[in-house]
């Protein structure tokens, strides 16, 4: 897995480094915290990333909000738990409990291929290093 840093952890708790949009060969998304130049419209217009808490600089992660977890985050979390077996809300709780650095260390292990060390994509379960399906 490439070097994971805090810039790859989105306000919603998504690890952008394991996202298909980031891992694909063409039109790579650089992550939610990087400027929006050349990003897909869905990333630019993300309701969570564009929430007033973040636009005003009052928060770094959703768990810092009084409305956590809001309906928008709950909807996203349900979709990811159902389709991809990953929870944004659980990620955010772990960041709050363990701290960002420990969360990142755990993500490095969780999403690294045991066969080649490549990155496993949360969306399709494939290692982008060796192609192994998880």
Higher-pLDDT residue of 110, 34: 110
* Dihedrals phi, psi of 4, to nearest 5 degrees: -90, 130
Rounded Cα–Cα distance for residues 39 and 90 (Å): 26
For 1-53, the pLDDT digits (tens) are: 566 889 999 999 999 999 999 999 888 888 888 876 766 677 778 889 888 88
Return d(Cα 61, Cα 41) in angstroms, integer: 21
For residue 97, pLDDT over 90 is answered with yes
Cβ atoms within 10 A of the Cβ of 30, count? 17
CB 104 within 8 A of CB 110: no
The residue ranges of DSSP E strands in the chain, in sequence order, are none
pLDDT surpassing 90 at residue 78: yes
Cα–Cα distance, 17 to 8 (Å, whole number):
6
Domain ranges of the chain: 6-110
CB atoms closer than 10 angstroms to residue 99: 11
Give 25's DSSP letter.
S
Peptide bond into 69 cis (omega under 30): yes
- List alpha helices for the chain, DSSP H: 20-23, 41-44, 52-55, 71-84, 88-98, 100-110
- Please compute the mean of the pLDDT values over residues 83-93 and round it to a whole number: 97
pLDDT tens, 43-73?
Answer: 778 889 888 888 777 889 999 999 999 999 9
The model carries a pTM of 0.90
Tell which phi-psi region holds residue 114, choosing left (phi > 0), alpha (psi between -120 and 50) or beta.
Answer: alpha
């Amino acid at each position: 897995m490439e070097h994971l840093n805090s810039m790859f952890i989105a306000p919603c708790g998504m690890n952008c480094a394991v996202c298909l949009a980031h891992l694909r060969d063409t039109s790579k998304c650089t992550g939610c915290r990087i400027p929006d130049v050349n990003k897909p419209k869905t990333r630019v217009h993300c309701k969570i990333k564009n929430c007033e808490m973040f636009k005003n600089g009052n928060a770094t992660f959703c768990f810092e909000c009084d409305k956590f977890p809001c309906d928008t985050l709950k909807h996203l979390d349900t979709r990811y738990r159902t389709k991809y077996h990953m929870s944004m809300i659980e990620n955010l709780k772990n960041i709050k409990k363990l701290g960002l650095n420990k969360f990142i260390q755990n993500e490095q292990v969780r999403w690294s291929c045991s066969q080649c060390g490549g990155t496993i994509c949360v969306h399709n379960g494939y290692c982008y290093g060796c192609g192994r399906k998880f």
